[in-house]
């Protein structure tokens, strides 16, 4: 399938084969980067960066200039009509009439999805809050592939702020798609969010297991792994952990160590900020002396603060500056393909990406809403309704289509109330057998009894206990 006229909001928008096609074109362009000015000549890229950025913004703008196009830009929300109350959707419609492609970074999670729905031109997500950063993930994967020739079967460690780091959230899912084993080494209190862990285990068909750091051997465990994801080809290895299995896993070496800084601008509590400052793990020469890191690629999306010691800059294993430089050809390739200005290259055969599970859709003007305060649906409720995927029935689990945060409604009802008579409007406990009887298209979900009652629903005999009790 052609990438022309499509958007990249999430890496899930691309198949593995399409990712390989981007990599193939990026390699071709990198080999002759100064002679690509004909590719997008006469085209305009709108660069909308409403959060601070150096590498991402400049690499996108450099990429468009390298392709022969031009750039229009907005970097400060206070200097745009958004500060006057304009909606993201209206802004998208207007900017889409000015440019051929839009690159946007926004603090609201899901904002890039809204822009893609309304702009009428290809849109690239350059980071939406703590949600995703798909083009950073593309250049991360590209770097690993260039250095190791493959991703499948590698052991990749993700280090630092795994809770708020959008690069980590995108990369973890991408590595799972390509068959890597993932080792999670978080800072205290900044562990991988549960909804990302569930996504890895339920949709990528591997296994993820939490480990007890205190039981890991070693006089002072510098590489304290708290969870491991094993791909479908090797889930049996997790059965042995954490006692022997982790040591066996690490004896094989860590192929890449992906370091991230504390995302202090997203930390929601004093606990997060304090933990990130006082106990944040540091990658330095001492750590890299470990035998498991002998051949390890040291990577970082940058900027760094104190989590990656400058003493390792000269180490041949350190790739973060080369990694950043590769962002230009990768973004050149991506924009060329989305704009349809260059034939799509034949990619190397790759295992198909089969995660695209078609979950039932839930959308209501009443009832439950996303609870993530950074979600675009909460910040612009006037035209963005509550939309979810029903990813589980027991417990009832709804995933926001914009930010992917999960919510677990406590009460449910059906739109089928005996021909719609008010007297028959009843709500039930979400953990009762009624959750399995109500069809998705008829489901109404509530966070509280008060919410259901305010809409005229009355409690049923299934509103306070589950069928198993």
What are the structural domains of the chain?
Answer: 11-129+325-339 (3.40.50.1370), 135-324 (3.40.50.1370), 361-459 (no CATH)
Cβ contact 250:279 at 8 Å? no
pTM recorded for the entire structure: 0.86
Look-up of token digits 């690239």: 124
pLDDT at 155 (0 to 100):
92
pLDDT tens per residue, range 158-179: 998 998 888 888 899 999 999 9
Residue 234: band (very low, low, confident or very high) from pLDDT cuts 50, 70, 90: low
Closest CA to 153 of 253, 291, 245, 224: 253
Q: Could you tell me what percent of the chain has a pLDDT over 90?
A: 46
222 pLDDT more than 70: no
Q: How many whole angstroms separate alpha carbon 265 and alpha carbon 104?
A: 19
Taking only the tens place, the pLDDT of each residue in 112-159 is: 999 999 999 999 999 998 788 999 999 999 999 999 999 999 999 999
Closest-CA residue to 249 (of 229, 269, 221, 219) = 229
Is the bond preceding 365 in cis, omega lying within 30 degrees of 0? no
Cα separation, 134 vs 104, whole angstroms: 12
Write the DSSP string, 182-245.
EEEEEPTT-PPPHHHHHHHHHHS--EEEE--GGGS-SSS-SS---EEEE-TTSGGGGGGTTTTH
Q: What is the mean pLDDT of residues 189-213?
A: 83
| Three-state secondary-structure class, residue 84 | helix
Whether pLDDT at 372 is above 70: yes
Band of the pLDDT at 276, cuts 50, 70, 90? Answer: very low
What is the structure's pLDDT at 334? 97
| Mean pLDDT score of the chain | 84
Are 58 and 114 in contact by the 8 Å Cβ rule? The answer is no
Whether residue 469 is predicted with pLDDT greater than 50 in this model: the reply is no
pLDDT score of 247 = 56
Q: What pLDDT was estimated at residue 278?
A: 55
Round to whole Å and give the CA distance between 275 and 268.
12
**Helical segments of 150-302, H only:** 166-177, 194-203, 245-251, 270-278, 285-288
Whether the CA torsion 182, 185, 189, 190 is positive or negative: it is negative
Is pLDDT of 275 > 80?
no
Residue 110 has pLDDT above 80, yes or no: yes
Examine the pLDDT at 273 and tell me if it is beyond 60: no
Between 246 and 45, residue with greater pLDDT: 45
* Among 6-15, 43-52, 208-217, 339-348, the least confident range: 208-217
Q: Could you tell me which residue, 169 or 103, shows the higher pLDDT?
A: 103
Is pLDDT at 218 greater than 80 in this prediction? no
Residue 40 pLDDT > 50: yes
Can you give the pLDDT at residue 183? 92
- In angstroms, the CA 105 to CA 77 distance is 11
pLDDT of residue 267: 66
To which residue do tokens 């770097």 refer?
143
pLDDT tens sequence across 280-321? 888 888 888 888 888 999 999 888 888 888 998 999 999 999
The C-alpha atoms of residue 318 and residue 152 are separated, in whole angstroms, by 21
Residue 306 is predicted with a pLDDT of 84
Among 3-7, 81-85, 422-426, where is mean pLDDT lowest?
A: 81-85
* 55-76 per-position pLDDT tens digit: 899 999 999 999 999 999 987 6
């Amino acid at each position: 399938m052609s990438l022309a006229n499509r958007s990249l909001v999430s890496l899930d928008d691309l198949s593995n084969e399409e990712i390989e096609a981007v990599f193939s074109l990026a390699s071709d362009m990198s080999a002759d980067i100064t002679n690509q000015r004909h590719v997008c000549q006469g085209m305009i890229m709108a660069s909308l960066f409403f959060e601070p950025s150096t590498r991402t913004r400049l690499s996108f703008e450099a990429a468009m200039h390298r392709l022969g196009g031009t750039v229009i830009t907005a970097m400060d929300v206070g200097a745009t009509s958004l500060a006057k109350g304009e909606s993201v959707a209206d802004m998208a419609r207007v900017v889409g009439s000015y440019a051929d492609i839009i690159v946007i970074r926004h603090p609201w999670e899901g904002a890039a999805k809204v822009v893609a729905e309304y702009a009428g031109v290809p849109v690239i997500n350059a980071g939406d809050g703590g949600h995703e950063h798909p083009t950073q993930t593309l250049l991360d994967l590209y770097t690993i592939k260039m250095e190791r020739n493959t991703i499948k079967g590698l052991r990749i460690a993700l280090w630092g702020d795994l809770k708020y780091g959008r690069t980590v959230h995108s990369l973890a899912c991408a590595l799972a798609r390509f068959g890597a084993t993932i080792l999670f080494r978080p800072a205290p209190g900044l562990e991988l969010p549960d909804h990302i862990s569930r996504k890895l285990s339920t949709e990528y068909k591997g296994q993820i297991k939490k480990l007890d750091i205190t039981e890991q051997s070693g006089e002072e465990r510098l590489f304290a792994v708290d969870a491991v994801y094993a791909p479908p080809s090797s889930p049996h290895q997790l059965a042995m952990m954490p006692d022997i299995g982790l040591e066996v896993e690490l004896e094989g070496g860590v192929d890449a160590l992906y370091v991230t800084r504390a995302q202090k601008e997203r930390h929601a509590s004093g606990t997060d900020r304090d933990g990130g400052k006082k106990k944040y793990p540091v990658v330095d020469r001492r750590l890299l002396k470990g035998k498991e890191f002998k051949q390890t690629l040291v990577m970082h999306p940058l900027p760094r603060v104190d989590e990656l010691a400058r003493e390792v800059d000269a180490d041949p294993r350190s790739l973060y500056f080369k990694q950043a430089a590769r962002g230009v050809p990768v973004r050149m390739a991506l924009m060329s393909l989305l704009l349809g200005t260059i034939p799509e290259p034949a990619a190397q055969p790759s295992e198909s990406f089969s995660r695209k599970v078609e979950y039932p859709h839930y959308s209501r003007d009443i009832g439950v809403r996303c609870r993530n305060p950074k979600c675009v649906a909460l910040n612009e409720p006037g035209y963005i309704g509550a939309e979810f995927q029903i990813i589980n029935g027991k417990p009832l689990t709804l995933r926001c289509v914009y930010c992917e945060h999960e919510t677990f409604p406590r009460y449910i009802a059906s739109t089928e109330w005996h021909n719609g008579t008010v007297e028959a409007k009843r709500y039930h406990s979400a953990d009762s057998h009624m959750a399995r009887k109500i069809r998705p298209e008829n489901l109404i979900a509530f966070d509280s009894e008060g919410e259901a009652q305010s809409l005229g629903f009355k409690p049923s005999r299934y509103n306070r206990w589950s069928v198993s009790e």
